[in-house]
Chains A and B, each alone.
Chain A
């Protein structure tokens, strides 16, 4: 990730105590023109990701490519072994006995797809990440229990400490706090 221009704080966080409010707030913030925003919830809320402008992910494509690579590699491994490097005549059967190669090709496809799914997801999410500024937010430990948070980053072009604070407060937040770097 590119080094962001240094801002006095990382951003401003509004805290909500139910999913409906945070989805409403995220929708309003996006409509108000904020783009560098993120929301935090203790479980996946599809409406929330939609509200901050995440409509699709790259995951299916990554998994498809991973699966194809796994499958081709698995087949080629068997082809190379049995036809090129170590041809072994078993009962006069053809060396390139492709039906017998299918089970391992299939397993390698699944393995490639599953590995690329998990590691692709972690990589795109930037995990593992030992330190992140949002953990400086008061009460943020509750984001993994029963609180919902909406963050507007300080490097958002529309961000203004006073104005953004008023805006977030108008959304019915329990609390609005600055997030230190």
Chain B
């Protein structure tokens, strides 16, 4: 018959073994299944063996279904001499858009994004140019936030800027020194 002390330490041992076992099992599940499926890493080769690597392969990346309605934007913005403005789209992480812009005169441009999903924010910068009159590209948002441009007219002539874009953004905001205005570009298919 076990003494209370012996019983207590038996119980403690049982719990310690069970807890360690739980952790090791979790580690195995994580390394063998979750790393390949979610993080695109396959240290044990189990991802390949189980076929999970297909969740991360390049051909899967080619097509990315989007959940936010497809919208199209066409705006004309006027920059008087020495005026500057920002124009940004609100995009969820992984959402994409295509854009092109043209201006009637040279502009300083800075294409960048701000992260609104985390406490410290965080920014990313994509293109900075002193005298640009056009730009175009395909953009996929690396994080949830506001993505777009800062333009500054450093000449003595008024510059007209035209932006056309199509993508999976929520809305667009124009920031000027006086304030900002947010508008929702029209959805391509209107229900």
Decide whether A and B assemble into one complex: no
Instruction: Give chain A's interface residues, CB within 8 Å of chain B.
Output: none
Binding site for A on B (CB under 8 A): none
